[in-house]
Amino acid sequence: MKGREVLIAIRQAIRFCLDIVLPPIDPFQEDEKKWKDICFLEAPCCAQCGFPFEYDVGEGVQCAACLVHPPRYSTARSAMVYDDASRPLVLAFKHGGKTDNLSKFAAQLRRVGRHSLADADYIIPVPLHTQRLIKRRYNQSALLARALAKITTVPFHSNLLHRVRATPSQGGQSAAGRKRNVQGAFSVPENGKAQLKGANIILVDDVMTTGATVEACASILLRSGAKRVDVLCLARVIRKDVQTESI
């Protein structure tokens, strides 16, 4: 045997022995373990933005941030807390092309959005700019929105909202910086305004931090004729300093 063939044989033998001593982890089982550690969001929470409350303060109560600066959207709900438990699943989906959990993600969006979905006319995703779409090859929010539409009776539309300006990543920016970053970044095409007129919209995004992105999207949708915009996000960053900064 040649030297290269010997090395390959040795590596295969070592891998075989390791698999006996330490059996390889089934990716599905590994994801199941991760799901058990996820903190899923539910009531009590702010009636508008969905920020979780530590205790039940009654229905219809808004958080301080929404009272001081009411969002343009009607409600926002997120399925899970974005933390150490959910981050690997979310990032694997967002950047790694791992769509194995897409049906579970959609089911969670349906769970938290059941009330707004009942009267919705369209489900639309937060769009990516063409440059980023080419680089990433897919829009994770569009995948979520399409999967949600498949398990509901609400039609999916991807061309009612466009991202017309390539913006830097929102990661690491302050609440004020995030808001400035997305100003003027979205538009509604002229041929989409007729469909939006008087419509109740479900806007889908992957992760909500300060809400600047969905706020910018909701604003242009409402100015273009939509009657109502409700937001559904897969995960939400829950930090009091983030919410306080947005007040």
User: Is the pTM for the entire model greater than 0.85?
Assistant: no
As a whole number of angstroms, the distance between CA 247 and CA 244 comes to 5
By the 8 A CB rule, do 114 and 60 touch?
no
The answer on pLDDT for 247 being more than 90 is: no
Q: Which pLDDT value is given to residue 161?
A: 95
For 143-166, what is each residue's pLDDT tens digit? Answer: 999 999 999 999 999 999 998 776
Q: Which pLDDT value is given to residue 25?
A: 42
Q: Which two tokens stand for residue 219?
A: 């604003």
As a whole number of angstroms, the distance between CA 31 and CA 240 comes to 29
By the 8 A CB rule, do 148 and 110 touch?
yes
As a whole number of angstroms, the distance between CA 177 and CA 34 comes to 32
DSSP 52: B
Domain ranges of the chain: 1-26, 37-245
Q: Which pLDDT value is given to residue 27?
A: 43
As a whole number of angstroms, the distance between CA 220 and CA 195 comes to 14
For 10-23, what is each residue's pLDDT tens digit? Answer: 666 555 554 544 44
As a whole number of angstroms, the distance between CA 36 and CA 22 comes to 23
* Domain formed by 37-245, architecture: 3-Layer(aba) Sandwich (3.40)
Mean of the pLDDT values across residues 167-184? 60
As a whole number of angstroms, the distance between CA 124 and CA 137 comes to 18
Mean of the pLDDT values across residues 176-186? 66
For 86-141, what is each residue's pLDDT tens digit? Answer: 999 999 999 888 999 999 999 999 999 999 999 999 999 999 988 888 888 899 99
- Place 77 in a pLDDT band, splitting at 50, 70 and 90: very high
DSSP 50: -
For 16-57, what is each residue's pLDDT tens digit? Answer: 554 544 444 444 455 667 788 999 999 999 999 999 999 898
Question: Judging by beta carbons within 10 Å of its beta carbon (0-12, 13-18, 19+), is residue 181 exposed, middle or buried?
Answer: middle
- Place 171 in a pLDDT band, splitting at 50, 70 and 90: low
Mean of the pLDDT values across residues 202-212? 95
